[in-house]
Structure 1
Amino acid sequence: MKVLVTGTAGFIGSHLAHRLLDRGDEVVGFDNLNDYYDVTLKQARLARLQARAGYTHVAGDLADRAAVEAAFAAYKPQRVVNLAAQAGVRYAAENPHVYVQSNVVGFLHVLEGCRHHGVEHLVYASTSSVYGANTAMPFSEHASAEHPLTLYAASKKGNEQMAHSYSHLYGIPTTGLRFFTVYGPWGRPDMALFLFTRAILDGKPIRVFNHGRHKRSFTYVDDIVEGVVRTLDQAPGKNPAWDSARPDPASSGVAPYRLYNIGNEQPVELLRYIEVLEDCLGRKAQMELLPLQAGDVPDTEADVSDLIADVGYRPVVPVETGVARFVEWYRGYYGA
């Protein structure tokens, strides 16, 4: 089928596009290659895609309504995966407006494109950050997520609510995917694994918040992509068991709408994550131990029982394997 994927010069988007092409789908990529981080890395990801048959690239910004409308009209995708967004939980302190433009206004333009062009299914990236102040572990899609702690998380929670309204009003099947701490080859330079690797190889100290004692459901990028593909192939319907008196946040009785966690079920302490990286690099890290940062949650743990029940999949790659693959890529790409 023909799939429009936004953010194909990005980390997860580029991996997803390759996966769809591998199975014979036609992919229309949409990305503005902004300078939030190293543009040459984005260009390198994109160059690999543009060398493949079946890939078409559209240069554009989701906040540009005309550009998004033109892409939908010209390519008429059957399904859409929206991964383009302003990422990062801390950048909002410097530039809050870009989160609203990219993640809220841009998402509205995607929803409108789906509405007016008969898209069969919209899958979009949300985040485990929406759980915010919720401390009940593991995080479940059926629990409340009404208190995000960052503007990034708030913008993604807004996406979930916007999607539900469009699913209800226009019958567009939508699936939101809450990703948990994604890592792997071709990753983002602002993420911990990238920052730690660069610093350790350069002989510089790494900043370790919460003294490294918090846990995360670190999830390898191929596991994320497999979850995206499986949910993309299965458009949701209305939930007949939905109770209007006690509505379920993960589904709906009035709309073809669904939310899923995609994360590793085995959270790993940050200090163990660093230890695995040290083993892969053959070097010890110099650690600057610091308190928990504002907006960070102490721990994350993914409940993926719904993902298993509905699409028969759970993330499986352990950090020992995933970090080794990242280090192999990093050394090859940077000649380190």
Structure 2
Amino acid sequence: MNILVTGAAGFIGAHCVLRLLRDGHRVCGLDNFNDYYDPQLKHDRVRWVQEQVGSFPLAQIDLADAPAIEALFAREQPDAVIHLAAQAGVRYSLDNPKAYLDSNLSGFLNILEGCRHHPVKHLIYASSSSVYGANQHTPYSTHDGVNHPLSLYAATKKANELMAHSYSHLFGIPSTGLRFFTVYGPWGRPDMSPIRFAQAIVEGSPLKLFNYGQHQRDFTYIDDIVESIARLVDQPPSTAPDWDREQPDAASSMAPWRIYNIGGEHPVELKDYLALMEKHLGRKANVELLPLQPGDVLNTCADVHELERDTGFHPRIELDEGLRRFVAWFRDYYPLHAHAPLAAEQQG
């Protein structure tokens, strides 16, 4: 297939591009290389992919640039779109709300318009477990309502699901939304807990643990995310023939539209997650316990039985093994003076 991957220099995007190219697809990437975090990490991810599978077309375009997005679709004529680009981060949305409107709403509209005017066989787009918001019924099911987001970021992700549904209904665009649950692994974002925690432990600086470490998160290793996407890309949804307007199911539709959770199904308290990180780094953290932050949810846990039913795959990398792989990458990527002493301590 000819596949357009947006956010191709991002954490999930780079891993996804690598897998799709290895599977024999032709991939065109899109990324704006913004400075939400150090763009050098994004360039390094692209170089990492190219070192393994060779070069691939990568357009530096902002999602909000409607003419540029239209021109890209007209030129590439993709069979499928995997839309992973977005303004990420719950806490950043408290101070920079407009960035989320430009990227997550206007930008997503431009992708939908591209799929409308240059029909694709399948649009897969990233949603988030944050859409469950104030819902405390776990495990989170795609059949549950998601009407109480706790951050603007979460609200934009729910809006994406609704926008995709309307375009699926009106224009027959087969679309699949993926609610990711706390993705981690090599080449992750520096604003997420694995790199923040590892750097604090290495440096001996205070490590802020909000809600006194009692949050629970359903961690999902990056390879499990990518495997799920690879299996879904050539399985576009169809209309649900038994969908009932009187009792509408939130996970499917009379339109060719579906929602899946992708998570590990094994929530872990952050203090236990930190203990595993300490084990693999061979050092103890200097922990600063703090109260709950605005916008944070207390716990997440994914119900993924429908993903397994439709793809035959269930996320399988345990947190201990995933963090071992992450720490190996962290030591390799970040400065040698930070990880050389760690190796000695670990051996001891």
Rounded to whole Å, the distance in 2 between the matches of 1:82 and 1:311 is 20
**1:256 paired residue number:** 256
The answer (yes or no) to whether the contact 1:10–1:42 under 8 Å persists in 2 is: yes
Q: CA deviation at 1:54?
A: 6.1
Answering whether residue 239 of structure 2 is matched by residue 238 of structure 1, we say yes
Rounded to whole Å, the distance in 2 between the matches of 1:267 and 1:126 is 19
Rounded to whole Å, the distance in 2 between the matches of 1:215 and 1:153 is 18
Q: Which digits, 9 at most, give the CA deviation of each residue in 1:251-276, with x for residues without a partner? A: 002x1000000000111111110000
**2:319 paired residue number:** 319
Rounded to whole Å, the distance in 2 between the matches of 1:270 and 1:199 is 15
Deviates more, 1:125-134 or 1:292-301: 292-301
User: What is the letter of the counterpart of residue 296 of structure 1?
Assistant: D
Q: Which digits, 9 at most, give the CA deviation of each residue in 1:152-210, with x for residues without a partner? A: 00000000000000000000100000000000000000001110100100111100011
The answer (yes or no) to whether the contact 1:26–1:54 under 8 Å persists in 2 is: no
Answering whether residue 50 of structure 2 is matched by residue 46 of structure 1, we say no
Q: CA deviation at 1:50?
A: 4.1
**2:343 paired residue number:** none
User: What is the letter of the counterpart of residue 5 of structure 1?
Assistant: V
| Structure 1 residues 163-182: aligned runs within 5 Å | 163-182=164-183
| Structure 1 residues 205-224: aligned runs within 5 Å | 205-224=206-225
Rounded to whole Å, the distance in 1 between the matches of 2:21 and 2:78 is 15
The answer (yes or no) to whether the contact 1:126–1:157 under 8 Å persists in 2 is: yes
User: What is the letter of the counterpart of residue 144 of structure 1?
Assistant: G
RMSD: 0.9
User: What is the letter of the counterpart of residue 147 of structure 2?
Assistant: E
Q: Secondary structure of the residue that 2:159 maps to in structure 1?
A: helix
Q: CA deviation at 1:292?
A: 1.2
**Alignment TM-score, normalising by the size of structure 1:** 0.98
Rounded to whole Å, the distance in 1 between the matches of 2:90 and 2:232 is 26
Q: CA deviation at 1:47?
A: 2.0
Rounded to whole Å, the distance in 1 between the matches of 2:50 and 2:193 is 29
Gaps of 5+ in 1: none
**Alignment TM-score, normalising by the size of structure 2:** 0.95
User: What is the letter of the counterpart of residue 3 of structure 2?
Assistant: V
**2:147 paired residue number:** 146
Rounded to whole Å, the distance in 2 between the matches of 1:12 and 1:65 is 24
Rounded to whole Å, the distance in 2 between the matches of 1:191 and 1:53 is 29
Rounded to whole Å, the distance in 2 between the matches of 1:241 and 1:308 is 21
User: What is the letter of the counterpart of residue 209 of structure 2?
Assistant: V
Q: Which digits, 9 at most, give the CA deviation of each residue in 1:90-131, with x for residues without a partner? A: 101221001010000000000011111121100000000000
**1:266 paired residue number:** 266
Q: CA deviation at 1:311?
A: 1.0
Where does structure 1 differ by over 6 angstroms across 4 or more consecutive aligned residues? none
| Structure 1 residues 19-30: aligned runs within 5 Å | 19-30=19-30
Rounded to whole Å, the distance in 1 between the matches of 2:127 and 2:239 is 20
Answering whether residue 305 of structure 2 is matched by residue 305 of structure 1, we say yes
Rounded to whole Å, the distance in 2 between the matches of 1:293 and 1:315 is 29
The answer (yes or no) to whether the contact 1:25–1:54 under 8 Å persists in 2 is: no
Q: Which digits, 9 at most, give the CA deviation of each residue in 1:290-322, with x for residues without a partner? A: 111111111100000110111111111011000
Rounded to whole Å, the distance in 2 between the matches of 1:215 and 1:104 is 29
**2:184 paired residue number:** 183
Q: Secondary structure of the residue that 2:186 maps to in structure 1?
A: coil
Rounded to whole Å, the distance in 1 between the matches of 2:183 and 2:119 is 31
User: What is the letter of the counterpart of residue 161 of structure 2?
Assistant: E
| Structure 1 residues 71-150: aligned runs within 5 Å | 71-150=72-151
User: What is the letter of the counterpart of residue 181 of structure 2?
Assistant: F
Gaps of 5+ in 2: 340-348
Rounded to whole Å, the distance in 2 between the matches of 1:61 and 1:89 is 21
Cα distance 1:54–1:75, how it changes in 2: closer, same or farther (>3 A)? Answer: farther
Q: Which digits, 9 at most, give the CA deviation of each residue in 1:58-116, with x for residues without a partner? A: 11001000111111111111000000000000101221001010000000000011111
Deviates more, 1:89-98 or 1:52-61: 52-61
User: What is the letter of the counterpart of residue 313 of structure 2?
Assistant: Y
Give the fraction of aligned pairs with identical amino acids, expressed as a percent.
57
Q: Which digits, 9 at most, give the CA deviation of each residue in 1:10-59, with x for residues without a partner? A: 00000000000111111100000000001110110122334534621111
Q: Secondary structure of the residue that 2:49 maps to in structure 1?
A: helix
Answering whether residue 205 of structure 2 is matched by residue 204 of structure 1, we say yes
The answer (yes or no) to whether the contact 1:50–1:57 under 8 Å persists in 2 is: no
Rounded to whole Å, the distance in 2 between the matches of 1:243 and 1:54 is 47
